[in-house]
Amino acid sequence: MSVHATETAAAGTRTRLNLVRLREMAARDEPITMLTCYEATLARLVDAAGVDVVLVGDSLGNVVQGRSSTLPVDLGHMAYHTECVARGLASSWLIGDLPFGSYEASPQQALESAITLMRAGAQMVKLEGGGPMVETVRFLVDRGIPVCAHLGLTPQRVHALGGFRVQGRDAAGAEALVADARAMAEAGAAMLVLELVPSAVARQVRAAAPGLITIGIGAGPDTHGQVLVLHDMLGWTSGRRPRFVHDFSRDGEHARSVPEAVAAYVAEVKARRFPDPVQHGY
């Protein structure tokens, strides 16, 4: 049997995930696994390894296009990579990032951009930002488009934030994050990525907005799930590795294959061994 056939058979043992099932997982406190992905071959591997949610992130600007930020990524790039990933998935839920400049002008602009990604295969769209985006989220949800919000460090606003810094460290910042999360839940967002925030703040957000499925990246172990950039967790990215990243490509002295590394990530998240609250948290 070929590698592709083996992966397809493995993926075929899982029922296709949908938003109802993801909410059920969150309700029974079953950890949700998420990874980024940008092309079909790796999408098949990620799907077969049991990853629950795949995010076609605008992080492709960094890891695929070699750019220093996500800002140059446009809607055409996102639609193309979403189409590629969608062709490789059999079971995982698929989220597409709305890139910088594709949704901020108006709810109508966001709708048109979201339709583009949904037609490309996304089942949910993700957008960054708090209060100013609440009406946009409501507008999209009212028109049948599932939304994942993104708070904390929002890379599209990295210049306004003063760089890649932990958000919500002081009382005022934490209070603002909790308020924004509650507002997103009230607007109908189904999921929330919390990036680079103290673990204690992530716990507050989860408690204050119980309608949201919280997914952490550098937000500690107490969110409903975890997400990493695929290239980071495979040890493929150069330079200084963020504190919240673990290289799953090695098991001590033993090098893992890509399927083994992704399966290890899934197992560690499901068993609540990753992230470690001290080693990977703030």
Closest CA to 202 of 190, 217, 187: 217
Q: Which uninterrupted H or E stretch holds 136? A: helix 134-142
* Residues facing residue 228 across a β-bridge: 35
For 198, the token pair is 């103290």
Residues 6+ apart with CB under 8 A from 170: none
Based on the residue annotation, tell me whether 195 is a catalytic residue of this protein: yes
Residues facing 97 on adjacent strands:
126
Instruction: Give the angle 86-96-112 at the CA atoms, nearest 5°.
Output: 110
Q: Within the chain, how many helices (H) and strands (E) appear?
A: 12, 10
For the residues of 124-165, what is the DSSP string, one character each?
Answer: EEEEE-SGGGHHHHHHHHHTT--EEEEEES-GGGHHHHTSS-
Phi and psi dihedrals of 222, rounded to 5?
-100, 15
Catalytic residue among 39, 83, 104, 195: 195
Contacts of 241 (CB under 8 A, 6+ apart): 232, 247
DSSP three-state, residue 90: coil
* Sequence-separated (6 or more) residues with CB below 8 Å from residue 62: 68, 69, 70, 237
Residues forming beta bridges with residue 215, ordered by sequence position: 193, 225
Residues with catalytic annotation? Answer: 195
